[in-house]
């Protein structure tokens, strides 16, 4: 039986997310006469579009969902198989899929992404935002909601809180400031006023083609990236790749109220307990909501569908809870029966050639954890930028190993760089932008113009090692060069950020 269903793919990639698709496309280009097999659990994959190399390390691009057939048309040597991985037998160089196929590989790259960290599972009142289907479910449920609670302080939480209109939002963050993953308290203070003002009208309508999965079609996995059998059909892990950086574009994230936006933030707290309406009635807890929270008392009519108690002692009723608390590397079902080195964060540990500890098995994107000594100005973060870079570099390493050629660690790993958008502001992060790992051995320079820009520079021994740029500062390329060159800036002092000095011309 196995012989009839076996497909011999020299090069196999698992995962239809950015890392997997980038790896597949690069392999297809390097080996146009070889069959490249992409194994994905969903009919939609993630593709990079509108790619722009902004500077030496900074890159900007869009992420677009596309049917699997598009990559097959673009690369005739790519074969997409839609199924979930059942088991990897690394010693035998063999993959087994849920639909009964066997894939024999010479080289394998695991790009199975991450799965959402839900603070509570199997609750109909808790929605995890990770993929396209869950985003559509959010849109549907939000249309009838008067209040939601958002748990999390990462990118999706930041975007969601800003985009939601017509609904009260209670935002619970475990840190002292919002956006702790991306910036410091100063930048957070710069952005907070945006939550109390109306969003600007979009200059142009969103016209990019979007695809959706057919809900009538049988679903075979929780995620296109996950490669994990859906052992629990009630799980929040549903079919679909991870969300793109502009996942909310073209979606109407509007609640049932007339208000534009009303956000209340609860700092330094986590979820203690979730109650159904009946459980809340039976308990002796009283809701701590009051007008001083900036909430509309008139919304307190009857019982809410769900109540959430926070570690700061406050309890809130709401229509539903959104869990946006990040992801954990999705290593199942690759570990069983194999001998992978697994990092503390549960990722597959890879060396500077993106190789795992199993022969001929590579990994890229959210599923992996870098095991080499990084550049002093680079750190791994599970972001779209690095997923694309890792997938592309993993393909280069696979090709180099097959051709017995040397390959150097790519320049993109020399300096951490990321472009995104929060609260309608352009955000650029460079190097040790939050002074990661520097301890007390650093100083900060900050320039802030309310409503326009926020510029923070991290200096160590007179040399620039990190920066946060919010707004149209046009400083990213200059600061990138100063970090890469490690010029001693001690002589310039605070003048480095003097708005009356054109720093771009000064260091040109």
Tens of pLDDT, residue by residue over 292-320, are: 343 443 344 468 999 999 999 999 999 99
Cβ distance 469 to 455 under 8 Å? yes
Band (262; pLDDT cuts 50, 70, 90): confident
pLDDT exceeds cutoff 50 at 214: no
| Confidence at residue 216, expressed as pLDDT on a 0 to 100 scale | 37
Band (255; pLDDT cuts 50, 70, 90): low
pLDDT tens for each residue of 12-27 = 999 999 999 999 999 9
| Confidence at residue 101, expressed as pLDDT on a 0 to 100 scale | 87
| Higher per-residue confidence, 349 vs 66 | 349
Cβ distance 287 to 307 under 8 Å? yes
| Confidence at residue 229, expressed as pLDDT on a 0 to 100 scale | 33
| Confidence at residue 401, expressed as pLDDT on a 0 to 100 scale | 94
Residue % of the chain over a pLDDT of 90 = 48
Give me 22's structure tokens: 């980038």
Q: Please report how many Cα atoms fall inside a 13 Å half-sphere around the Cα of residue 398, on the Cβ side.
A: 32
Q: How remote is the C-alpha of 431 from its chain's centroid?
A: 18
| Confidence at residue 440, expressed as pLDDT on a 0 to 100 scale | 86
Most confident of 106-120, 181-195, 300-314, 396-410: 396-410
Band (1; pLDDT cuts 50, 70, 90): very low
DSSP annotation string for 160-203: HHHH-BSSEEEEE-SSSSTTTTT--HHHHHHHGGGGGSPPPPPS
Q: How far apart are CA 370 and CA 362, in angstroms?
A: 12
Cβ distance 350 to 309 under 8 Å? no
- Compute the chain's Rg from CA coordinates: 24
Cβ distance 27 to 399 under 8 Å? yes
Burial class (CB in 10 A: 0-12, 13-18, 19+), 186: middle
| Confidence at residue 208, expressed as pLDDT on a 0 to 100 scale | 41
Least confident interval from 282-286, 381-385, 449-453: 282-286
Least confident interval from 59-63, 414-418, 479-483: 59-63
Residue 381 zone, left/alpha/beta (φ > 0; ψ -120 to 50; rest): beta
Burial class (CB in 10 A: 0-12, 13-18, 19+), 239: buried
Going by DSSP bridges, is the β-strand pair 94-97/85-89 parallel, antiparallel, or unpaired?
A: antiparallel
Closest C-alpha among 501, 500, 458 to residue 186: 458
Task: Kindly provide the residue ranges of all beta strands, DSSP E only, lying in 238-330, ordered along the sequence.
Answer: 262-266, 271-276, 306-310, 315-318, 320-323, 327-329
Number of Cβ within a 10 Å radius of residue 92: 9
């Amino acid at each position: 039986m196995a012989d009839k269903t076996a497909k011999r793919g020299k090069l196999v990639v698992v995962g239809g997310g950015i890392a997997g698709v980038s790896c597949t496309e690069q392999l297809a280009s390097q080996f146009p006469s070889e069959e490249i097999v992409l194994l994905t659990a969903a009919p939609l994959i993630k593709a990079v579009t509108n790619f722009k190399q902004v500077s030496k390390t900074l890159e900007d691009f869009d992420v677009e969902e596309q049917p699997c057939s598009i990559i097959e048309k673009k690369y005739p040597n790519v074969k997409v198989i839609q199924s979930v991985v059942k088991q990897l037998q690394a010693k035998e160089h063999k993959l087994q899929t849920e639909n009964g196929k066997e894939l024999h590989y010479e080289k394998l790259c695991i790009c199975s992404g991450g799965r959402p960290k839900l603070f509570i599972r199997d609750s109909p009142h808790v929605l995890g935002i990770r993929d396209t289907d869950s985003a559509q479910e959010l849109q549907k449920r939000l249309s009838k909601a008067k209040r939601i609670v958002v748990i999390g302080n990462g990118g999706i939480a930041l975007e969601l809180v800003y985009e939601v209109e017509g609904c009260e939002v209670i935002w619970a963050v475990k840190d002292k400031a919002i956006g702790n993953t991306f910036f410091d308290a100063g930048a957070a203070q710069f952005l907070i006023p945006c939550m109390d003002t109306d969003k600007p009208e979009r200059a142009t309508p969103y016209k990019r083609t979007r695809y959706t999965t057919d809900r009538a079609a049988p679903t075979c996995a929780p995620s296109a990236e996950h490669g994990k059998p859906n052992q629990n059909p009630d799980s929040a892990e549903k079919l679909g790749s991870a969300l793109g950086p502009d996942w909310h574009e073209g979606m109407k994230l509007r609640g049932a109220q007339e208000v534009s936006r009303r956000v209340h933030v609860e700092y330094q707290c986590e979820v203690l307990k979730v109650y159904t309406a009946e459980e809340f009635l039976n308990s002796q807890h009283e809701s701590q909501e009051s007008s001083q929270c900036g909430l509309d008392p008139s919304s307190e009519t009857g019982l809410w569908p769900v109540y959430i108690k926070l570690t700061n002692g406050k309890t809130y009723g709401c229509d539903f809870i959104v869990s946006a608390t990040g992801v954990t590397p999705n290593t199942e079902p690759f570990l069983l029966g194999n001998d992978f080195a697994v990092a503390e964060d549960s990722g597959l540990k890879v060396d500077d050639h993106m190789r795992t500890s199993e022969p001929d098995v590579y990994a890229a994107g959210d599923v992996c954890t870098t095991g080499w000594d990084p550049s002093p100005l680079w750190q791994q973060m599970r972001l779209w930028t690095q997923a694309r870079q890792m997938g592309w570099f993993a393909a280069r390493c696979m090709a180099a190993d097959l051709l017995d050629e040397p390959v150097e660690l790519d320049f993109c790993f020399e300096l951490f760089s990321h472009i995104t958008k929060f609260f309608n502001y352009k955000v650029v992060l460079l190097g040790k932008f939050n002074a990661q790992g520097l301890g007390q051995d650093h100083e900060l320079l900050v320039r802030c113009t309310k409503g326009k820009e926020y510029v923070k520079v991290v200096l160590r021994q007179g040399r620039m090692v990190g920066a946060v740029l919010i707004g149209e500062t046009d400083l990213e390329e200059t600061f990138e060069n100063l970090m890469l060159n490690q010029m001693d800036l001690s002589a310039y002092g605070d003048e480095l950020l003097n708005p009356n000095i054109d720093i771009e011309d000064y260091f040109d």
